[in-house]
Structure 1
Amino acid sequence: MLVLSSPSGAGKTTISRKLLEQEADLHMSVSVTTRPMRKGEVEGRDYYFVSRAQFDAMVDADELLEHATVFENSYGTPAAPVEATLNAGEDVLFDVDWQGAQQMRTRRRSDIASVFILPPSTEELARRLTTRGTDTPEVVAKRMAKAADEISHYGEYDYVVVNDDVDRCLAEVRAILHAERVRADRLPGLADFVGGLTEVYRAP
């Protein structure tokens, strides 16, 4: 379970998309949200768009690995598809905020590798938020005001990378993923394999 977090505009969505293009055994966890669908978004690919009542029912039924409310809209990660992918022996990528990452660590700490992506500067973060053209100036101001609080949680993550160059940042996140995949405690059947290697050799 590879968790990516960052303040809005720092680049985690771009890194996530590029990562999925290059890693065949990595699958994006699709969140549910109560916010309206934006132009160009697709149901089931970007999010599952649900009503407030539906979202609250999922929370009450403990169907979400994590959930949080950001800028008056709620987001959450359905547990069932994540479990199915992990049971199939493949990895899952999560694009969540620090609150979601915190909840996931509480529930599944041994399965998670978490990465916090930092912007190179506050000026660059403001520029990215402004030029992407998806938010009003008022929303951009809210996101910038919230960024300092989000960044303050960087110490709760296993890894921290600075996105001053997308390709370099992507390479660092891929290196983290590859290293985490070969951790001894994540290799099923390793003990039996090593046991076979350490048996005394008997010539035929």
Structure 2
Amino acid sequence: MGGSLFIVSAPSGTGKTTLLRRVMQEVGHLVFSISHTTRSPRRGEVDGRDYYFVDTDRFSAMIQDNAFLEWAKVHDNYYGTAISPLSSRLEQDNDVILDIDVQGAALVRAAGTFPAVSIFVAPPDLDELEKRLRGRGSDDEETISRRLTNARQEMAQRHDYEYLIVNDRLDDAVSMLCGIIFAERARCRRGIDGSPLSGFRT
């Protein structure tokens, strides 16, 4: 039967990382899809836990072998979602969160390799998003402006997703995302813990 794939996209500054961290703590048999990248590990990052770190030649060979569900070049580094580890996680009855931008999400949907449930996480509005970006105190004015421009473009594609969660109150957003995951498990005749329901399989 296998698990379900959940695509989650959101503009930068929406609070997606915090939201997903909370949901991962509350929902069992839920794992992240680990991407391949050619960038160097940052302090504290572990190969196979945070990313699969590979060199450019290896990444290029994987592209030629059609090993990626989707891939992109971002700021001179390559990032991609490999089919094999994703398939393995799903076959182990784990639901998988694929944290990906709108362009990558569109590629995954178009490929149709894995049925996926798509979820867009939005800020209450762009004014609030700007407040959050400035409140982080980590970006210069040019970066904030670029992120807001990208957010407007990404928000325009929210209608391409099956679900929309507005991250106004974090607790409410966590409840909604957990609810979507549990509803999909029920639809697929699986229990709240993700295990198949004996005698009720489709």
TM over 0.5: yes
SS of match in other structure, 2:22: helix
Distance 1:127 1:40, change over 3 A: farther
Aligned residue in 1 for 2:81: 77
Cα RMSD for the two superposed structures: 2.7
Q: Is the 8 A contact 1:65 1:107 kept in 2?
A: yes
Alignment equivalent of 1:19, drawn from 19, 23, 35: 23
Q: 1:86 aligns with which of 86, 90, 101?
A: 90
Code of the residue aligned with 2:189 in structure 1: it is L
Indicate the residue corresponding to 1:8 in structure 2.
Answer: 12
Deviates more, 1:157-166 or 1:14-23: 14-23
1:50 aligned residue: 54
* 1:48-67 residue CA offsets vs partner (Å, 9 max, x unmatched): 33333333322222111112
Stretch of structure 1 that moved more, 174-183 or 134-143: 134-143
Return the TM-score normalized by structure 2: 0.82
Number of residue pairs aligned between Structure 1 and Structure 2: 193
> Which residue of 174, 177, 194 corresponds with 1:173?
177
Separation in 2 of the partners of 1:39 and 1:117?
28
Cα deviation 1:65-115 (Å, max 9, x = unaligned): 112334554321121111111111221111001111112212337621110
Question: What letter corresponds to residue 132 of structure 1 in structure 2?
Answer: R
Equivalent residue number for residue 62 of structure 1? 66
Give the structure 1 partner of residue 193 of structure 2: none
The amino acid of 2:69's aligned partner reads L
Name the aligned partner's letter for residue 13 of structure 1: T
Structure whose CA Rg is larger: 1
| TM-score normalized by the length of structure 1 | 0.81
Structure 2: segments with no counterpart, 5+ residues? 191-195
Which structure 1 residue ranges, 5 or more long, are not aligned? Answer: 196-204
2:154 is matched with: 150
Q: Which protein is richer in helix relative to its size?
A: 1
